[in-house]
Amino acid sequence: MTGSTLLELRDLGVEFTTPQGPVHAVAGVTLRVGAGECLAVVGESGSGKTQLFLACLGLLAANGRASGSARFQGQELLGADEATLNRVRGVGLSLISQDPMNALTPHLRIERQLTEGVLDRGLMSAAVARHRALEALRTVGISEPEARLRQYPHELSGGMRQRVAIAVALMTSPQLLVADEPTTALDVTVQARILDLLRALRADGLAIVIITHDLGVVADLADRVVVMYAGRLVESAPAGALFTAPAHPYTAGLLASMPRLSDAPRRRLPAIDGQPPRPGEVVEGCPFAPRCDFAAETCREVAPPLRSLSGEREVACHAPLQRESRR
C-alpha cells in the first residue's frame, strides 16, 4: 500500500429494511486505502460497491443502516453527527456520483454548483471560490472556463458534465477522491480522456478509489483491485498479480469476459452463467457456488472466509486458483 492509511474499513456491513424483510447489501468488508494510492473496487451491479462508500459518508437511504467501522484519518465516520461528517465529506474525502447529469442540478449554473459547497461551509469568500472554480475547471481540461461558469448542465456534453462533476469534487483539494462509475455511458474516446485525467490527478498525489463493473478501465490505473460479489469481498490483490493470475473463479470469469484486440473475428465472449443471489436471499455456503465451475460440496455448505495468500493477496475461496505459498 502506498503511504499512510487514509481510509480504513473494518467489518463494514450495510443492511436495508424492506417490507419483504432485511436486505444485506454489504457483509463485513474490511479494506484500507493509502495516501496516493489508486484502489479499484469491481463487481457486477448490485454487488455492494457503491453502498460501501455511501455508508462511509452517511449517505445511505433512509431505510439503510451501517455497522462496523469506517475511519478517515483516524476519525470514525459511522454514527458521526452531521457536523463531523461535513468536515470530512466534500473536504478531505470527495465523491463523484455515477450519473453526472443527475449529480448536477439542472436549473443552476455551473458556477453556483462549483462554489455552493465551499460558500455554505464558509471555507472561502465568494471571490476566492470563483477563482478556485476557474482553476478546478482548468485542472479537468475544460476549455473557456469563464464561459462555462455561466452555462447550465444541459448546455454541456456528457464528457464535459463528467469533468464538471470531478471539478466539483476537487474544489476543496481533497486527499481522497471516490469515483463511482466515472466512465459509464461515455463513448470510448471520452472514457479514455476521463481516465487520463484521473491518472494525472493521481500523479499529483491524490488518492483515488474507482468503483466500476469493468475491469478493463482500471487495468493500467489501479495499484490494487478489490473484487466484490453479493456484498462480500472475494479477492484483493495488487493489480498486476490479479490480472496475470486471478485466484478467485469469479475474478477469472470477469477477466475472461473482457474483449481483446487479439480475439478472433466473431469470437463469442465467454460469460458467467447464472445470476447473483437475489437481494434478501439467504445463501448457504459460498454465494458464488451455483455459478462456479469448480464448486465442491464444501462450497455449497460452508461460506469461505477471506484468507491471505502470498504477494499481498486475499481470497475468499475454499480452493483458490492460485494456491502456492499459502499463509
pLDDT digits (tens, 9 = 90+) for 163-172: 899 899 899 8
Question: Among residues 182, 211, 185, 178, which one has the least CA distance to residue 194?
Answer: 182
pLDDT at 209: 96
pLDDT at 102: 73
In angstroms, the first-to-last Cα distance of the chain is: 19
pLDDT at 190: 78
pLDDT tens for residues 209-248?
Answer: 999 988 888 888 899 999 999 999 999 999 999 999 999 9
Q: How many CB atoms within 10 Å of residue 300? A: 14
CA atoms within 13 A on the CB side of 134: 10
pLDDT at 326: 40
Joined grid coordinates for residue 131? 477563482
pLDDT at 325: 42
**Which residues are registered as beta bridge partners of 7?**
33, 72
184 conformational bin, left if phi > 0, alpha if psi -120 to 50, beta if neither: beta
CA atoms within 13 A on the CB side of 322: 25
Look up residue 90 and give its amino acid.
G
Angle at 65 between CA 61 and CA 70, to 5 degrees: 105
How far is Cα 34 from Cα 86, in angstroms, rounded to an integer? 21
Angle at 183 between CA 35 and CA 180, to 5 degrees: 50
Q: Which residues of the chain register pLDDT less than 70?
A: 1-3, 100-101, 185, 323-327
pLDDT at 327: 39
pLDDT at 101: 65
pLDDT at 21: 87
The structural domains of the chain, with segments of one domain joined by +, span: 251-327
**pTM summary value:** 0.89
Contacts of 88 (CB under 8 A, 6+ apart): 57, 72, 75, 77
